[in-house]
Amino acid sequence: MSPLRIRYQTIEIGHIDLHLRTLRDRQQFHDPHGAAEKLGISSAFWPLFGVVWPSSVVLANFLLDYDTANKSILEVGCGIGLSSLLLNKRHADITATDQHPEVEGFLQQNAALNDGETIPYERIGWDESGSQLGSFDLIIGSDLLYEDQHVRPLAGFIAQHANPTCEVLIVDPGRGRKNKFTERMTAYGFTHTHAKPQGLDYLSEPFKGHILRFNRTQGLSET
């Protein structure tokens, strides 16, 4: 039996209620066969996938009325998958991905909790080869730039899975790496804007981050 302590909660994204099965807190850990350890996920980082972060709530609210018609969408580093679950409920063409070996189980259980379809998913790291994801019109993510070494592989992963015409939306809470990441994205042919999210009364604490928006209308090789 898993020693994990689980929490059930409902998060309101505008007029939509999302029911979530998450870890109770960031103190949980369960890797009996070393699956996460083999992927380089330490015990300190292990539980981060399984809780709801402010950046993910900001992203989901931003996407509530976003035009997703006829767009193939990828959530990168989805964690508990709040935005994927919202877009699934909106019947958008959403695919999710994460490196963590426990994400898929939580994601599909939460899809079922919300009476949604199974969400296409692939477990893959940003610097791993062999991805079968394909390419997308819109790529989204939140709170992905934890450390400096994440900048280059994340930008490369996004570029690999971006259609020649593609939009990227990343909510960054202000960990000090958005400019380095923007430089990498610019090298892949993306233009960019950084903007403070508005109307954050749904958050209980101040949010100091930005919504990073990148657009590309034709593919360019890395420079």
- pLDDT per residue as tens digits for the range 101-155: 999 999 999 999 999 999 999 999 999 988 999 999 999 999 999 999 999 999 9
Look over the chain and give the mean of its residue pLDDT values, rounded to a whole number.
Answer: 95
Task: Please report, for residues 29, 41, 83, 87, 212, the alpha-carbon distance to residue 140 in angstroms, rounded to integers and kept in the order given.
Answer: 27, 22, 9, 11, 10
Highest CATH level, class, for 6-216: alpha beta
Task: Please report, for residues 30, 125, 220, the alpha-carbon distance to residue 196 in angstroms, rounded to integers and kept in the order given.
Answer: 36, 29, 28
- Provide the whole-model pTM: 0.95
**Residue 97 predicted with pLDDT over 90:** yes
- Where do the domains of the chain lie? 6-216
CA distance linking residue 144 with residue 178, whole number of Å: 10
- pLDDT per residue as tens digits for the range 74-95: 999 999 999 999 999 999 999 9
